[in-house]
Amino acid sequence: MSKLSIRDVRKAYGATQILAGLSLDVEEGEFVSLVGPSGCGKSTLLRIIAGLEAQDHGTISIDGKPVDPLPPKHRQIAMVFQDYALYPHMTVAQNMAMPLIMASLPWHARLPIIERMHPLARRGRPAVEAHILETARQLGIDHLLERRPAQLSGGQRQRVALGRALVRSPQLFLMDEPLSNLDAKLRTQVRKEIAELHDSSKLTFVYVTHDQTEAMTLSDRVAIMQAGRFLQVAPPVTLYEDPDNVDVARFVGSPEINLLPAQVIDQRLRIGDQLLDVAIPASASGDLFVAFRPEAALLDGNLPQDGTRVSGALDFNIAGVEDHGADLILHGTLATEPSVELRLRAHKTPGGQTPNLRVGGRQPIRLIREGLLFFGADGKRLRGPTSTPSMAPSTATISAPLSKKVAAL
Amino acid sequence: MTAAATTLARTQQRLAYALAAPAALLILAIYLVPIILVLVFSFTDFTLVRDGMSFVGLENYRQMAEDENFGNALRNTLIYAALFLPAAFVIPLVLAILIQERQRFRSVLEVLFFLPVTSTLAAMALVWAALMDSKQGIINVTLNSFGLDAINFLGDPDIVLFSLAIISVWSIIGFNMVLFLAGLTAIPPSLYDAAAVDGADAPLDRFFRVTWPMLGPTAMFVAVTSSITAFKLFDTVALLTQGGPDRASEVFLYLAFKEGFEYFNMGYAAAMSFAFLLIVFLFALFQTGSTDRRVRY
């Protein structure tokens, strides 16, 4: 039985459809991210899971029980908000005590002034304080308990928000872009802390973000959303290496995947004015897109000696070189007619020589066969057995180009 | 510093003074000089019917302490404020919260409640006088038709302060409501979401845990301005009751006005005005000091 089950959830605001019938199962202890551009409905879905908004159609179940009629406080969830939503007039300790007080005291004991002297509130206070101290120690914020949110840094506020969520001992941990208000360095650090929290707490997480790095590094599975639909729900590596459609392929990975318009003619791939002998899925025909990641190209024109299967050499005109330290990102065009823009990645090896890559230069490249992905004109992935070109058993070669220009080497 | 830099600094300094001068002079002429003049007059026997004046020291203030009418006016003002302030604070707050939650008609309701603020209170006071007339007033006619006794709103010494407070509340509701609405709009909606997840989703909990603490600065502002409005009550008294019946509605400012412009005792009126200024100042100071200033990001 899955921890969280979303069944055909739909939501519209007036005539605008936000969620178009979503279904998803999240297993116990799993970390699932909802990723997509702004306006794709990911936050709305999270708010519906939390019970802060009602869906028009469909069911949300937690632990196998439908929770649709339940208010947020009875769903055994905790939520961390983008702006942390700490109560600015309360100290850190009071912020963290809020869910405990609300759950443990009857309404008349929670009224202002009365709360200070009500016997129930007084009796419960030591337990509440102990609970808060324990959680605060876990998160390393026990020295901040008497401060107010205004006196805290962004990272500290973030931790207080986590603390307030944790004291509830939730079944399900919901996070709505919790890192987007932090600077880059802190973001990496808190990201690591969230991963550790997930490992140590064994809780089930649903995490909304527009940052693919967060989603890829934190998640067991990532749900890519667009226009109120799931494009693909899969582990990060699968999304990167084996995307179901062009939108997923383009969304995941930075720099973006290279997408080349191509045609299949006589079991051969034609890119611009060049013909390329590579393995082509049996279902491929006519116009399609061939895609490959920036690192799926060899940057010297030589044939590899280790048996990697590559295409024939293609000429790449270098228009820009970005040195990222560990690797180089090259921008440029493929010397076909018409030309296609490419982004390539060249890894630097310590002590090794950097290939002679300079702006304005021309570099023969070979595409690694296993890195080639085929998409139909409708954007759907073309899979299935590939037909191996008969001409070359281990390497594909450029056959006679259509134009006067021949790819050198 | 080089000579050029010194010259530049001097020029900028001169420019700064020149730019600040008009505002500074206006503040001096409109606020500070009159206050000082009133203070000076309050130590003299200045009157409008005789040329010249002589210094009388604290005589005016001594007279104030003994004056029965002054004590009466002070008491009337405080009773009126005690009637007016709670209503002028709570009714707009409740209305603002109710209107804030509405999707539709919000702007229509805002305009409706704000209308009295835009109208001339002097003209509206006459309308209220007609409504509250002891015999032909529509309120009493209605009461009579239900078999109830007519109420002498403006003629009964025990009721007249109530009636004046009702008129003032009616005229200030819209203004305070707009202030509260502005304060409510500034509360981040995610706080209510967090409160709902934390279990504070019942109306009372929402109000006491989020709304009220977050409204702190707004509430303070409304309380101070409304208090000053209460102490400044004048126009409806002057138009409708002239302090009557039997000085039952003679409030602070109206008494000062009568002393100065009907009995021409400007010196005494100045002393009263200064006392009024002090009381309002102390009251505002106390309110500001006692409010919760914790709400700040």
Contact B193 A85 (CB under 8 A): yes
**CA atoms of A56 and A68, how far apart (whole Å):** 11
pLDDT digits (tens, 9 = 90+) for A133-148: 988 888 888 888 888 9
Supply the pLDDT for residue A404: 34
SS3 A375: strand
Regions of chain B short of the pLDDT cut 70? 1, 291-297
Average pLDDT of chain A, as a whole number: 83
Q: In chain B, what are the domain boundaries?
A: 1-31, 42-290
Contact A79 B209 (CB under 8 A): no
Supply the pLDDT for residue A395: 42
**Which of B196, B201, B295 is the closest to A89 by Cβ?**
B295
pLDDT digits (tens, 9 = 90+) for A336-373: 777 788 888 887 776 665 666 778 888 888 888 888 88
Which amino acid type is present at position A317? N
pLDDT digits (tens, 9 = 90+) for A250-303: 888 888 898 888 888 877 888 877 777 777 887 777 888 888 898 888 877 666
How many residue pairs bridge chain A and chain B with CB atoms within 8 Å of each other?
79
The answer to whether residue B204 neighbours chain A at the CB level (below 8 Å) is yes
SS3 A363: strand
Q: What is the ipTM of this complex?
A: 0.79
Q: Contact at 8 Å (CB) between A299 and A346?
A: yes
**Kindly report the CA angle at A272 between A371 and A376, in degrees rounded to 5?**
55
Q: Which residues of A fall within a CB distance of 8 Å from B191?
A: 85, 87
Q: Which of A328-332, A372-376, A397-401, B236-240 has the lowest mean pLDDT?
A: A397-401
Q: Does domain B42-290 correspond to CATH entry 2.60.210.10?
A: no
pLDDT digits (tens, 9 = 90+) for A161-213: 988 988 888 889 999 988 888 888 888 888 898 898 899 888 899 999 988 88
Supply the pLDDT for residue A301: 63
**CA atoms of B196 and B202, how far apart (whole Å):** 8
Q: In chain A, what are the domain boundaries?
A: 4-241, 255-387
Supply the pLDDT for residue A140: 85
CATH of domain A4-241: 3.40.50.300
State mean pLDDT over A398-408: 36
Measure B216 CA to nearest chain A CA, in Å: 10
Contact A148 B294 (CB under 8 A): yes
Supply the pLDDT for residue B293: 55
Residue of B nearest to A95 (CA): B198
Measure B96 CA to nearest chain A CA, in Å: 21
Q: How far is CA A232 from the centre of its chain?
A: 11
| Cα→Cα distances B243→A289, B158, B171, B273, Å | 90, 13, 20, 17
Q: Which of A81-90, A386-395, B34-43 has the lowest mean pLDDT?
A: A386-395
Q: Which of A44, A52, A104 would best serve as a mutation to test chain B binding (most B beta carbons within 10 A)?
A: A52
Contact B194 A87 (CB under 8 A): yes
**Which of A71, A110, A148 is the closest to B196 by Cβ?**
A71
**Which of B194, B213, B294 is the closest to A81 by Cβ?**
B194
Does the pLDDT at position A392 exceed 50? Answer: no
Whole-angstrom Cα Rg for chain A: 27
Supply the pLDDT for residue A401: 38
Residue A69: cis peptide before it, omega within 30 degrees of 0: no
The answer to whether residue B103 neighbours chain A at the CB level (below 8 Å) is no
DSSP type of residue B31: I
Q: Give A11 or A358, the one with higher predicted confidence.
A: A11
A204-209 and A31-35 as β-strands: parallel, antiparallel, unpaired? Answer: parallel
- Helices B68-100 and B160-185 pack at an angle, to 10 degrees, of 40
**CA atoms of A181 and A158, how far apart (whole Å):** 9
Contact A73 B216 (CB under 8 A): no
Residue A407 banded pLDDT, cuts 50, 70, 90: very low
Question: Counting every residue, how long is chain B?
Answer: 297
Fold observed for domain A255-387: OB fold (Dihydrolipoamide Acetyltransferase, E2P) (2.40.50)
The answer to whether residue B201 neighbours chain A at the CB level (below 8 Å) is yes
